[in-house]
Amino acid sequence: MFTPVSETGPGRRFQQQKESTKKFLYDDDSFSFEALRAAGYAAYGGADLGEVLVTCRQIPEGDEEAWSVRWAATAARIERIGRDALAAGHRVSAREALLRASNYYRTADFYRRENPAADAESARLAEASQQTFADAAALLDTPARALRIPYEDTTLPAYLFLVDESGTPRPTLLYHGGYDSTLEENYLALASGALRRGYNVLTFDGPGQGSTVREQGLHFRPDWETVVTPAVDFALTLPEVDPERLTLVGTSLGGYLAARAAAFEHRIAACVLHDGTWDFHEAVAALASRAASMPGGIEALMAQNTTARWVVRNGRWTFGVSGIDELVRATEAYTMAGIADYITCPTLVLDAENDQFFKGQPQRLFDELTCQKELISFREDEGAGEHCHEGALALFHQRTFDWLDTMLAD
Confidence category of residue 22, pLDDT binned at 50, 70, 90: low
Q: Which residues of 243-280 are buried (b: 16+ CB within 10 A; e: fewer)?
A: eebbbbbbbbbbbbbbbbbbbebeebbbbbbbbbbbbb
For 372-407, the pLDDT digits (tens) are: 999 999 999 999 999 999 999 999 999 999 999 999
The predicted structure's pLDDT at residue 7: 40
Q: Which residues of 62-87 are buried (b: 16+ CB within 10 A; e: fewer)?
A: bbbeebbebbbebbeebbebbbebbe
Residue 18 has pLDDT above 90, yes or no: no
- The fraction of the chain above a pLDDT of 70, given in percent, is 94
Residue 17 has pLDDT above 70, yes or no: no
pTM score, two decimals? Answer: 0.94
Confidence category of residue 13, pLDDT binned at 50, 70, 90: very low
Residue 9 has pLDDT above 80, yes or no: no
Residue 340's closest CA among 268, 285, 259? 259
Residue 157 has pLDDT above 70, yes or no: yes
DSSP state of 289: H
Task: Using DSSP, state whether 62 is helix, strand or coil.
Answer: coil
The one catalytic residue among 102, 122, 211, 252: 252
CB neighbours of residue 380 within 10 Å:
14
126 contact partners, CB below 8 Å, separation of at least 6 = 105, 106, 109, 182, 211, 214
For 324-370, the pLDDT digits (tens) are: 999 999 999 999 999 999 999 999 999 999 998 899 999 999 999 99
The predicted structure's pLDDT at residue 117: 93
Q: Phi and psi for 358 in degrees, rounded to 5? A: -115, 35
Residue 104 CA to residue 96 CA, distance in Å, equals 13
Mean pLDDT estimate for the chain: 94
CB 319 within 8 A of CB 37: no
Residue 28 CA to residue 305 CA, distance in Å, equals 9
CB neighbours of residue 53 within 10 Å:
12
CB 45 within 8 A of CB 96: yes
For 118-132, the pLDDT digits (tens) are: 999 999 999 999 999
For 175-195, the pLDDT digits (tens) are: 999 999 999 999 999 999 999
252 given a catalytic annotation: yes
